[in-house]
């Protein structure tokens, strides 16, 4: 049973375009929603994260939008660049008492064409 | 500052063989995790530890064992490898704040 569902599985966007990745979760105990970026041959690295008391968070060209009532959150990559080509994972985590376990979505492979 | 280091980086095992994957972190993190990554499945938690001497089962623990004898090290063992355990394995560690995990570079394991 996948608690975090991510779509699409892959995405091709032209340089300068907008990449949008969506995630939906089921467990209302989740209270931290990070996005991880993974380049080929590397481990995932934290890109940006949001807590449910905020509806949007922006860091440079990356924006997370969060809809608590719909239990959905999304990543927008503005002005996409070839260097953004990577696999992106959404994730959700419970509080410290639950061991900080991250539950990941299935991943989205993004290819930015020059 | 090395962060999270995994050894080995690549390994081929025959069915039924055993092996141990080593994870070492130098950030003094309490929490450590082992994940496996398979295409389309994201990263699935195998086992985790909330501190030295503790371990707990994650989402897919069957066929694996772990130990955390020292705070900086987290070992993942496969007692009798099966082809279904062919995967890329990632170790991660984190502070008490939830969510920000630091990952190693992975171990690609093939079981033939």
Residues of chain A above pLDDT 90, percent? 79
Residue A1 confidence (pLDDT) above 70:
no
Instruction: Determine the pLDDT at residue A98.
Output: 58
CB pairs under 8 A between A and B: 75
Low-confidence ranges of chain B (pLDDT < 50): none
Integer CA distances (angstroms), B39 to A57, A77, A109, B30, B89, in order:
29, 23, 11, 29, 12
Q: Does A27 touch chain B (CB under 8 A)?
A: no
Instruction: Determine the pLDDT at residue B8.
Output: 96
Nearest to B49 by CA among B30, B36, B35, B65: B30
Instruction: Determine the pLDDT at residue A3.
Output: 87
Average per-residue pLDDT for chain A: 92
Give residue-wise pLDDT tens across range A23-71: 999 988 888 899 999 999 999 999 999 988 899 999 999 999 999 999 9
Instruction: Determine the pLDDT at residue A58.
Output: 96
- Selecting from B50, B90, B104 the residue whose C-beta is nearest the C-beta of A99 gives B50
Give residue-wise pLDDT tens across range A77-86: 999 999 999 9
Tell me whether residues B42 and A42 touch, CB distance under 8 A: no
Nearest CA in chain A to B104: A43
SS3 B38: strand
Give A9 to chain B, closest Cα distance, Å: 7
Instruction: Determine the pLDDT at residue A27.
Output: 87
Backbone region of residue B3 per phi and psi (left: phi > 0; alpha: psi in -120 to 50; beta: other values): left
Give residue-wise pLDDT tens across range B39-62: 888 899 999 998 999 999 998 999
Instruction: Determine the pLDDT at residue B109.
Output: 97
E strands in A1-79: 4-7, 10-14, 19-25, 33-38, 45-50, 56-59, 62-67, 72-77
Nearest CA in chain B to A37: B103
């Amino acid at each position: 049973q996948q608690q975090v569902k991510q779509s699409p599985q892959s995405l091709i966007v032209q340089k300068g375009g907008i990449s949008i990745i969506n995630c939906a979760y089921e467990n209302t105990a989740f209270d931290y929603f990070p996005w991880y970026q993974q380049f080929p041959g590397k481990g995932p690295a934290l890109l940006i994260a949001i807590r449910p008391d905020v509806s949007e968070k922006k860091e440079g060209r990356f924006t997370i939008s969060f809809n608590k009532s719909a239990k959905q959150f999304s990543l927008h990559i503005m002005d996409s660049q070839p260097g953004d080509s990577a696999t992106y994972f959404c994730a959700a985590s419970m509080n410290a008492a639950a061991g900080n376990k991250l539950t990941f979505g299935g991943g989205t492979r993004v290819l930015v064409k020059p | 500052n090395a962060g999270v280091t995994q050894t080995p980086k690549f390994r081929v095992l025959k069915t039924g063989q055993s092996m141990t994957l080593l994870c070492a972190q130098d950030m003094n993190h309490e929490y450590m995790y082992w994940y496996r990554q398979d295409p389309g499945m994201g990263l699935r938690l195998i086992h985790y530890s909330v501190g030295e001497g503790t371990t707990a089962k994650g989402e897919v623990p069957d066929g694996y064992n772990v130990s955390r004898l020292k705070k900086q090290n987290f070992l993942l063992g496969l007692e009798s490898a099966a082809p279904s355990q062919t995967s890329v394995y990632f170790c991660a560690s984190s502070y008490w704040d939830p969510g920000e995990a630091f990952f190693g570079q992975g171990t690609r394991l093939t079981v033939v």
